[in-house]
């Protein structure tokens, strides 16, 4: 009896222990390694950084760590500009996403009930197809002599080929396109729950529809607006594929910078420092997001 | 409830969904283009599909990707389900806050950072980069998504069902297998599919952790795309899109049918 | 037969269930507070109280889902401490019914029997028996989602009864049913309990339900039992003001004891001109003590003409509201002090000449033995 209950307790303990251990080894430790390497010096060797951790020489190991890479980041204004431009591009994209996403979510919420689940499925469906392929599809559309130019010249709207590919505009289009489901779904979730009689009550009390939109609909949709915006903003800051395929060489984004530090310049310590910098930028919105989510979950009946 | 679609609603829905689907549609149409120039229509042809199936490197990459996705999604499903159980059924255990943080962080962290940190880890422990490092990396990322999917089901789960099973004489483990597991199975399947798709789809993390021995399909496609448009990539994309569409439609019909069946016999 | 059933008044009778000074705390909150209670074999026992009074916690401790913080419980003489829910000879009918949605009706009923490792033919036989008992033979292969609320309730009952538990626990068994069905099911539950000679413990917040079904009722408040008695005693001899107000409607008149005359208490109430005369011989009171007098509305009479001189317990006021309920008419009478009395009258005949109307001056009387004195 005692042995059996001990066995049961050990088995029960494995449930949290196994995933805990997995994440500890494959998420936490790698993260600490990044932190450590960001404090190391580059070396022409394999691996291309030093000091490499040796158990015998702990004092020497810590002695060799310094903030040189971070100093480099502050001195070279490339990283400063890349950071700023990442945040700017992500923020403007988020605004665009709101403008594009809100009417769609609103239309979905007002659609007849039996169509609504189909519309939701249609919004999610592209998410299941490859991200890379969806971005690739835009290359053919946006390039000069591409399908957009062909269509617009065919309609007689433009005479000169549009040169959108490899510009920041193309990056905005790409981000809006790829992240649209992440904006539409939270918005839809809040709008769908909204009680229509509230709008009728506002009308009844003398508020015209356009004013009711601002005084009733938007405040009630605020949780969805905040959740959707953060859900788009956070990954957009660190985006790599979209600026790389659609943006030109002058489109500076920090995720892309990390990639090239790592693969082209092979400066691993500097790449690690860039990673830490990127994380620091993202801590604030992530904390806000967690807070908003926690409140949303608690507020549920 | 009296909901009516205004002209504005209909217009925004039509434009919105056109925006979402037109690029994919064009991609598929131009995969049947006879011309080598992707954006110039040169007549209907299935030429590029044939070329695709003769492209051994691409097929090899697809096979590697599929194996990695199956293996990592399976591992992630087991780990994610365990993590979800731990988070919903174990109350406060030591280190719970750290655990929750580790589950949520990979989902919001930029892929470049996850990819980089795992690579540095694999270098530090001297593990050769290739099939296994990608599998481990994908398992780590996707198990977090599985956790969230299964956890949300467990949170709405009516605990009195488990109490009823125990009340009727089923010990905890048997209660789990005869009542809990069958009822959360749909969310576990959904979690697996999500993990599988994320793994199939991933470029960034795979690029950091790929070795000379193992190249995945996204990496292959990416390197071809960087060199310019390629009708072969269109064909490969069209096939992938077709598979996904069929899969989603099939899953929807299956769940629809079971819902209909239970409704029809309800009263 | 049932009238003679009163093991609780037999000092030699051994209880089937005994709660011995049980306390249950959730953090700082005390759900059950040093509670002792005996329940006897064959009883239909109701735990009655407002939500949050601890009645559900008490039941869940008996089922084994909660562990007492202090004190112990025995079942048939066996100590229940450390016995997990799946080894207790107690089955529960859940408030939500907790039917397994992925199993058919018969699989649900067979679940408990399977856990005991019974052979297949015995399980099938017992399941058939249960289906007949709750009249669901035709729905054996349906799934819970395909059943109506009343049918689900029956499946839950059959599933809990299938293992022939020593005690059947029912957590708000009729809470999810509509009014008509609830009343029918109350009598059905009583019949089934009688037929199977089983001990039923029911948790409910509905006093009518408890009154209809129970042999005895324990009224709970703030984790304690306020009174354990038969429905008749609870209604006619409530121990406290809380019980009087919780079970049924009641008029409360506050006053002070003046003394005792001929075995009757004289109480001076502000709402009555003359002292009230109350026949409640068991109360021990002293002069000047503040008391509350509880009178049920149906035990009060309403008159248009002033009662004869010398009549006892007269209260005068005007008709404030009249509610016609069909079987009853409810009069709300406002006294000079502003208090409002509730008086009901059975509508024994279909037509009444010159009925009492709104705003009329009326007199309300009640007999000395119609009232109960509750010490404040």
Mark which residues 28-67 of A lie under 8 Å from B by CB: 28-31, 33-34, 37, 47, 53
Say whether A16 and B83 touch across the interface (CB within 8 A). yes
Q: List CB contacts of C341: < 8 A, sequence separation 6 or more.
A: C251, C297, C300, C315, C317, C332, C333, C335, C364
Nearest to C100 among B166, B167, B179 (CB): B179
- Mean pLDDT across A111-135: 87
For the cut 80, the answer to whether the pLDDT of residue A58 exceeds it is no
Which of A261-270, B84-93, C90-99 has the highest average model confidence (pLDDT)?
Answer: C90-99
Q: Poorest-confidence range of A131-135, C164-168, C234-238?
A: A131-135
Q: Which of A171, A142, A150, A182 is nearest to A240 (CA)?
A: A171
Q: What is the mean pLDDT of residues C340-361?
A: 88
Alpha-carbon gap: B263 to the closest alpha carbon of chain A (Å): 15
Higher pLDDT among residues B249 and C33, named by residue: C33
Give C148-195 pLDDT, tens digit per residue.
999 999 999 999 999 999 999 999 999 888 888 898 899 999 999 999
In this model, does residue C234 exceed pLDDT 70?
A: yes
Q: Which of A27, A34, A272 sits opposite B106 (nearest CB)?
A: A27
Quickly state the pLDDT bin for A278 (edges 50, 70, 90).
confident
Looking at residue A24, its pLDDT comes to 93
Query: Which of C100, A39, C332 is closest to B182 using CA atoms?
Result: C100
pLDDT at B93 over 90: no
Question: Comparing A61-75, B223-237, C78-92, C257-271, which segment has the lowest mean pLDDT?
Answer: A61-75
Structure tokens at A248: 């030109």
What is the mean predicted confidence (pLDDT) over A234-249? Answer: 89
Lowest mean pLDDT among A252-266, C109-123, C201-215: A252-266
Helix axes B217-226, B181-201, angle to 10 degrees: 30
Res B267: pLDDT: 40
Task: Please indicate, yes or no, if residue B8 is contained in any of the structural domains.
Answer: no
Looking at A34-38, B74-78, B129-133, C96-100, which range is the least confident one?
Answer: A34-38
Looking at residue C250, its pLDDT comes to 94
pLDDT tops 70 at residue B106? yes
Contact, A293 vs A245, CB < 8 A? no
Pairing relationship of beta strands C167-171 and C90-93 according to DSSP bridges: parallel
Per the model's pLDDT, the better-predicted residue between B265 and B30 turns out to be: B30
Mean pLDDT over A245-274 rounds to 85
Q: In this model, does residue B256 exceed pLDDT 70?
A: no
Q: Is the dihedral of CA C31, C37, C43, C45 positive or negative?
A: negative
Higher-confidence position of B241 and A48: B241
* Residue B170 belongs to some domain of the structure: yes
Q: How confident is the model at residue A35 (pLDDT cuts 50, 70, 90)?
A: confident
Contact (CB<8Å) C84/B166: yes
Q: Does domain A75-299 fall into CATH 1.10.3720.10?
A: yes
Tokens 């500009």 label which residue?
Answer: A81
Share above pLDDT 90 across residues of chain B, in percent, rounded to a whole number: 44
What's residue A3's pLDDT?
Answer: 53
Interface check C144 vs B, CB under 8 A: no
Residue of A nearest to B237 (CA): A133
Q: Is C73 helix (H, G, I), strand (E, B) or coil?
A: strand
CA distance B95 to B252: 39
B39 vs A contacts (CB less than 8 Å) = 140, 143, 145-147, 150
Average confidence (pLDDT) over C280-299: 88
For residues B156-166, give the mean pLDDT.
93
Residue of B nearest to C163 (CA): B168
Domain boundaries, chain A: 75-299
Q: Which residues of B touch C100 (CB under 8 A)?
A: 161, 164-165, 179, 183
Q: How far is Cα C332 from Cα C330, in angstroms, rounded to an integer?
A: 7
| Chains B and C touching, counted as 3 or more CB pairs less than 8 Å apart | yes
**Percentage of chain C surpassing pLDDT 70?**
99
Average pLDDT score over residue span C1-15: 79
Closest residue in B to A279 (Cα) is: B109
Test mutation, A43, A128, A152, A162, chain B, max B CBs within 10 A = A128
Question: What is the predicted pLDDT for the residue at A60?
Answer: 60
**pLDDT digits over A182-221, tens only?**
999 999 999 998 888 888 888 888 888 888 888 889 998 9
Nearest chain C Cα to B185, which residue?
Answer: C102
Q: What is the pLDDT of residues C327-337, one digit of tens each?
A: 999 999 999 89
Q: Is A139 on the interface with B (CB under 8 A)?
A: yes
Instruction: Look at residue A275 and tell me whether its pLDDT is greater than 70.
Output: yes
Rounded to the nearest angstrom, the minimum Cα separation between C115 and chain B is: 6
Q: Do B166 and C86 touch (CB under 8 A)?
A: yes
Domain encompassing residue B253: 55-264
Q: Of C96, C142, C145, which has the smallest distance from its Cβ to B158's Cβ?
A: C96
A270 neighbors A262 (Cβ within 8 angstroms)? no
ipTM (interface predicted TM): 0.86
pLDDT exceeds 80 at position A71: no
For tokens 């939109």, name the residue: A213
The pLDDT of residue A57 is 58
Query: pLDDT at position C39, please?
Result: 96
pLDDT score of A301: 37
Q: Which of B11, B17, B20, B26 to mutate to test the interface with A (most CBs of A within 10 A)?
A: B20
Please report the pLDDT score of residue A198 as a whole number.
87
Residue C61: list chain B partners with CB under 8 A.
Answer: none
C94 with B164: Cβ contact below 8 A: yes
Q: Which residues in chain C are classed under CATH 2.40.50.100?
A: 249-375
The model's confidence at residue C29, banded by pLDDT at 50, 70 and 90, is very high
- C159 within 8 A of C112, measured Cβ to Cβ: yes
Confidence of residue B2 (pLDDT cuts 50, 70, 90): very low
- Is the pLDDT score of B61 beyond 80? yes
pLDDT of residue A11: 79
Q: Which of A49, A94, A71 is CA-nearest to residue A237? A: A94
Residue C202 has pLDDT above 50, yes or no: yes
Q: Give A138 or B35, the one with higher predicted confidence.
A: A138
Could you tell me the pLDDT band of residue B160, with boundaries at 50, 70 and 90? Answer: very high
What is the mean predicted confidence (pLDDT) over B27-49?
Answer: 83
What pLDDT is stored for residue C100 in this prediction? 94
CATH 3.10.20.90 fits C249-375, yes or no: no
Domain C2-245 falls under CATH 3.40.50.300: yes
Per-residue pLDDT, A300: 47
Alpha-carbon span B27 to B237, nearest angstrom: 8
Band of residue A41 on the pLDDT scale cut at 50, 70, 90:
confident
CATH number of B173's domain? 1.10.3720.10
Higher pLDDT, B250 or A93: A93
For helices A131-142 and A168-193, what crossing angle results, to 10°? 130
CATH 3.40.50.300 residue ranges for chain C: 2-245
* Among the ranges given (A64-68, C151-155, C371-375), the one the predictor scored with the smallest mean pLDDT: A64-68
The DSSP bridge partners found for residue B263 are: none
* B56–chain C Cβ distance below 8 A for any pair: no
Count of A-B CB contacts under 8 Å: 232
Chain A's closest residue to B1, CA to CA, is A196
Query: Nearest CA of chain B to the CA of C64: how many Å?
Result: 8
Domains in chain B, number = 1
Q: How far is B213 from chain A (nearest CA, A)?
A: 18
Pairwise CA distance, residues A11 & B204, whole Å: 37
**pLDDT tens track for C250-265:** 999 999 999 888 888 9
Shortest distance, CA B254 to any CA of chain A (angstroms)? 14
Do chains A and C have 3 or more beta-carbon pairs under 8 angstroms?
no
User: Which residue from B171, B175, B266 is facing C146, i.e. has the nearest CB?
Assistant: B266
Top-confidence range, A194-198, A205-209, B140-144, C9-13: B140-144
The larger pLDDT score, comparing residue B39 to residue C153, is at: C153
**DSSP 3-state assignment of C48?**
strand
Name residue, tokens 């949300």.
B152
User: What is the pLDDT averaged over residues A154-159?
Assistant: 81
Please, are residues B111 and A41 in contact by the beta-carbon 8 Å criterion? Answer: no
Cα separation, A247 vs A267, whole angstroms: 24
Chain A residues lying within 8 Å of B30, measured CB to CB = 140
Q: Does A201 touch chain B (CB under 8 A)?
A: no
Of A26, A104, A121, the CB nearest to B118: A26
Pick A76 or C27 by higher pLDDT.
C27
Pairing of strands A49-50, C90-93: unpaired
Establish if C63 touches chain B: CB-CB under 8 angstroms: yes
For residue B181, the chain A residues in CB contact (below 8 A) are none
- Of the candidates C94, C56, C89, which has an alpha carbon nearest to the alpha carbon of residue C74? C89
| B167 interfaces chain C, CB cutoff of 8 Å | yes
Chain B nearest CA to C103, separation (Å): 9
The set of residues, in sequence order, having a beta carbon less than 8 Å from that of C116 and lying 6+ positions away, is: B169, C163
Give me the pLDDT at residue C222, please. 93
pTM score = 0.83
Neighbours of chain A (3+ CB pairs under 8 A): B
Q: What is the pLDDT of residue C19?
A: 96
DSSP assigned state of B170: -
Whether the per-residue pLDDT at C364 is higher than 90: the answer is: yes
Cα radius of gyration rounded to whole Å, chain A: 25
pLDDT score at C107: 94
């Amino acid at each position: 009896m005692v042995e059996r209950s001990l066995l049961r307790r050990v088995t029960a303990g494995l449930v949290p222990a196994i995933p805990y251990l997995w994440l500890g080894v494959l998420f936490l430790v790698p993260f600490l390694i990044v932190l450590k390497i960001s404090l190391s010096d580059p070396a022409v060797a394999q691996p291309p950084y030093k000091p490499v951790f040796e158990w015998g020489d702990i004092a020497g190991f810590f002695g060799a760590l310094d903030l040189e890479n971070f100093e480099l980041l502050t001195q070279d204004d490339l990283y400063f500009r890349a950071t700023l431009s990442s945040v700017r591009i992500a923020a403007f994209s988020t605004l665009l996403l709101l403008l594009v996403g809100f009417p769609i979510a609103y239309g979905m919420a007002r659609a007849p009930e039996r169509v609504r689940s189909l519309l939701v499925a249609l919004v999610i469906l592209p998410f299941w197809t490859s991200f890379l392929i969806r971005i690739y599809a835009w290359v053919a559309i946006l390039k000069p002599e591409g399908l957009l130019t062909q269509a617009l010249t065919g309609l007689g709207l433009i005479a000169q080929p549009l040169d959108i590919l490899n510009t920041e505009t193309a990056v905005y289009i790409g981000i809006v396109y790829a992240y649209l489901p992440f904006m539409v779904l939270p918005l839809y979730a809040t709008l769908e729950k909204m009680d229509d009689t509230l709008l009728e009550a506002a009308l009844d009390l003398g508020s015209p529809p356009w004013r009711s939109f601002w005084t009733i609909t938007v405040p009630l949709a605020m949780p969805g607006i905040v959740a959707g915006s953060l859900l788009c903003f956070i990954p957009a800051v660190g985006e790599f594929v979209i600026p790389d395929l659609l943006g030109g060489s002058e489109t500076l984004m920090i995720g892309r910078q990390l990639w090239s530090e790592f693969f082209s310049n092979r400066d691993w310590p500097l790449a690690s420092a860039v990673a830490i910098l990127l994380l620091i930028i993202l801590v604030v919105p992530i904390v806000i997001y967690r807070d908003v989510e926690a409140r949303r979950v608690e507020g549920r009946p | 409830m009296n909901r009516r679609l205004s002209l504005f609603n209909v217009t925004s829905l039509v434009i919105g969904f056109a925006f979402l689907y037109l690029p994919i549609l064009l991609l598929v149409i131009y995969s049947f283009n006879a011309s080598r120039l992707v954006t110039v229509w040169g007549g209907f042809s299935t030429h590029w599909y044939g070329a695709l199936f003769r492209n051994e490197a691409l097929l090899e990459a697809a096979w590697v990707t599929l194996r990695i996705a199956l293996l990592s999604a399976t591992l992630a499903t087991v780990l994610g389900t365990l993590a979800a159980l731990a988070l919903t059924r174990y109350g406060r255990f030591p280190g719970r806050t750290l655990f929750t943080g580790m589950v949520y962080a990979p989902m919001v962290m930029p892929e470049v950072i996850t990819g980089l940190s795992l690579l540095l880890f694999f270098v530090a422990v001297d593990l050769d980069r290739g099939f296994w490092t990608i599998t481990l990396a994908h398992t780590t990322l996707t198990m977090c998504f599985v956790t969230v999917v299964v956890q949300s089901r467990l949170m709405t789960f009516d605990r009195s069902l488990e109490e009823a099973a125990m009340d009727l004489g089923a010990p905890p483990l048997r209660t789990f297998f005869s009542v809990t597991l069958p009822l959360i199975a749909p969310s576990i399947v959904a979690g697996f599919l999500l993990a599988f798709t994320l793994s199939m789809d991933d470029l960034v993390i795979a690029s950091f952790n790929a070795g000379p021995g193992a190249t995945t399909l996204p990496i292959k496609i990416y390197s071809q795309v960087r060199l310019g448009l390629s009708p072969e990539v269109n064909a490969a994309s069209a096939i992938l899109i077709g598979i996904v569409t069929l899969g989603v439609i099939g899953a929807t019909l299956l769940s629809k049918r079971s819902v209909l069946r239970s409704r029809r016999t309800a009263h | 037969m049932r009238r003679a059933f009163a093991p609780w008044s037999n000092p030699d009778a051994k209880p089937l269930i005994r709660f011995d000074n049980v306390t249950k705390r959730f953090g700082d909150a005390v759900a059950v507070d040093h509670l002792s209670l005996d329940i006897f074999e064959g009883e239909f026992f109701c735990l009655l109280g407002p939500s949050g009074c601890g009645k559900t916690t008490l039941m869940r401790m008996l089922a084994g889902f909660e562990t007492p913080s202090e004190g112990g419980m025995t079942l048939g003489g066996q100590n229940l401490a450390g016995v997990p829910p799946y080894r207790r000879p107690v089955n529960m009918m859940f408030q939500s019914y907790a039917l397994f949605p992925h199993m058919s009706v018969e699989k649900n009923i067979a679940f408990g029997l399977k856990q005991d490792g019974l052979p297949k033919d015995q399980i099938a036989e017992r399941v058939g028996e249960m289906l007949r008992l709750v009249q669901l033979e035709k729905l054996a292969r349906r799934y819970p989602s395909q059943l109506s609320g009343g049918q689900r309730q029956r499946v839950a009952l059959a599933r809990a009864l299938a293992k022939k538990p020593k005690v059947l626990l029912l957590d708000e068994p009729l809470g999810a049913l509509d009014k008509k069905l609830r009343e029918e099911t109350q009598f059905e539950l009583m019949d089934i309990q009688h037929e199977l000679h089983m001990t039923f413990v029911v948790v409910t917040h509905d006093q009518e339900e408890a009154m209809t079904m129970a042999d005895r009722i324990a009224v709970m408040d703030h984790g304690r039992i306020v009174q354990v008695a038969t429905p008749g005693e609870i209604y006619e001899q409530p121990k406290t003001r809380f019980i009087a107000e919780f079970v049924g409607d009641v008029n409360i008149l506050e006053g002070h004891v003046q003394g005792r005359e001929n075995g009757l208490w004289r109480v001076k109430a502000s709402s009555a001109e003359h002292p009230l005369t109350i026949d409640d011989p068991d109360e021990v009171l002293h002069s000047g003590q503040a008391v509350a007098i509880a009178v049920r509305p149906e035990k009060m009479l309403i008159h248009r003409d002033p009662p004869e001189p010398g009549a006892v317990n007269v209260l005068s006021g005007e008709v404030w509201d009249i509610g016609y309920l069909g079987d009853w008419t409810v009069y709300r009478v406002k006294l000079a002090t502003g208090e409002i009395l509730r008086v009901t009258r059975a509508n024994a005949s279909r037509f009444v000449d010159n009925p009492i109307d709104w705003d009329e001056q009326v007199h309300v009387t009640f007999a000395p033995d119609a009232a109960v004195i509750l010490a404040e």
